[in-house]
Amino acid sequence: MTSHVAACPHSERSFRVVTAPRRTPARRLRVEVGIVGAGPAGLALANVLTRRGIDCLVVERASRERVEERQRAGLLEDRTVRWLRSQGLADRLLAESTLHHWCDFRCLGHTVRVDYGAYSDGRQHHVYPQQNLVRDLIAGLERAGTPPLFSHNVRAVTNITGRRPRLECEGMEIECDYVVGCDGFRGISRAALPATGHRAHNRRYPYDWLTVLAEVDRPVEGVRYAVHRAGFAGMMPRGPRLSRFYLQCPPGDAVAAWPASRIVAELRERLADGDPAGLPAIGATPEVRMLRMHSSVLTPLAHGRLLLAGDAGHVLTPSGAKGMNLAIADAAALAEALVARLREGDEGPLAAYSATRLADVRRVLGFSEWLLGLLHLPEEASAAPEAELTSRLAAIRRLAEPGPHAYRFAHRYVGSGVREWCHDPPG
């Protein structure tokens, strides 16, 4: 067997190539932290670790083009932006995002504006499409000379309880001190966990959401939630000519049941609810998908030298726009913990990672579910929805008037992180 040192085609690193007779050469790379997945979690983590001098590599199965064009989230919480800024990762975001501090609820023909900025000491959401943040984070790694390895599917994560866990890819093996699984809900990192000792807390909700990315003739000024007898509908700003819409539908419904004409008619019926001037004209719908409404939280988020972050460890519905924010909060905690472990020999933060993050995830999930409860009428109300809608309207109005309901909603919705308001039960 022969070996020599070669340059990795995707980075400036050198690594040892081991050639076995009559076998495809197995390439071996050695890094301190191997990260599976180039979503917001993996990319944010890699940027911070690289800046702190830790040798890490993001391995992503999709092409760079695919990763950079995926349109999903758009609302960044206050705490997320503060952290990104503190790490020097928010320059373009701060220059180009738009700020939002209110949302509208539409119910029984009334529009109730909730100025959550006013009830959270002026905190605001930044509207910045997920794909823009992803592009910024990839560019940051490129500038640092450590771009992700795109189009490399990690087939397995092995030896997670040993000293050197490994990422196994086609023709390549990456040996690490730690592996971080940031490969989303359907990734392979979860599969590396032992069957015993880990539990997924799954919940299926009794409805699905049709999600529609649509062209609009004017920018959507803010988020609108409609609580309607025909079902929930939502409208989220995404840019000057685009908006994301949601429509509640029966569980298991198919996209085929929703031709464009039906989508537009239902959006108008539920979101405008007697006030068509409040809605932009809806044009082409480049993306129509069905979201199976479920949540899943895995406990614990670590085993041996494998740590999970973002959707790989917990997936929430889009209610409250929390998924990407939680993914970045995980990255922030892990970055500190890995630096403490690898540079200062302090194992404490890494040992506490799972419990600390799960406490936050559960609080955020509680808020997201509380909002789902507010926005959807129970099945029992379908015969006589008026009484239920009247009590919803009263609950919504409480969010718009000074008092504990409004403060708690505002801090949790904008993601202020302020203990006093964010740690109480929702309501």
Contacts with ligand RFL by CB under 6 A lie at 36-42, 59-62, 67, 72-75, 130, 153-154, 182-184, 187-188, 211, 310-312, 318, 321-325, 327
- Which pair of structure tokens corresponds to residue 108? 């029984």
Largest CA distance in the chain: 78
**Closer residue to ligand RFL (CB): 312 or 389:** 312
Strand order in the sheet with 33-36: 56-59, 33-36, 178-181, 306-308, 302-303
CB atoms near residue 347 (< 10 Å): 11
Residue 104 makes CB contacts below 8 A (sequence gap 6+) with 111, 112, 113, 114, 222, 223, 224, 225, 278
CB of 275 to ligand RFL, least distance (A): 24
CB of 189 to ligand RFL, least distance (A): 8
For residue 194, give Cα distances in angstroms to 261, 300, 304, 353: 48, 11, 10, 19
**Closer residue to ligand RFL (CB): 264 or 324:** 324
Q: Are 244 and 238 in contact (CB under 8 A)?
A: yes
**Closest to 141 in 3D by CA, of 225, 46, 231, 27:** 46
CB of 127 to ligand RFL, least distance (A): 9
**Closer residue to ligand RFL (CB): 74 or 231:** 74
CB of 296 to ligand RFL, least distance (A): 12
**Closer residue to ligand RFL (CB): 62 or 230:** 62
- Which pair of structure tokens corresponds to residue 66? 């695919």
CB of 22 to ligand RFL, least distance (A): 28
CB of 21 to ligand RFL, least distance (A): 29
CB of 115 to ligand RFL, least distance (A): 20
* Cα three-residue angle 239-96-364, rounded to 5 degrees: 75
Residue 95 makes CB contacts below 8 A (sequence gap 6+) with none
**Closer residue to ligand RFL (CB): 1 or 284:** 284
What letter represents residue 109's amino acid? G
**Closer residue to ligand RFL (CB): 59 or 271:** 59
CB of 274 to ligand RFL, least distance (A): 27
Q: What is the DSSP letter of 313?
A: T
Q: Are 301 and 313 in contact (CB under 8 A)?
A: yes
**Closer residue to ligand RFL (CB): 37 or 147:** 37
**Closer residue to ligand RFL (CB): 294 or 398:** 294
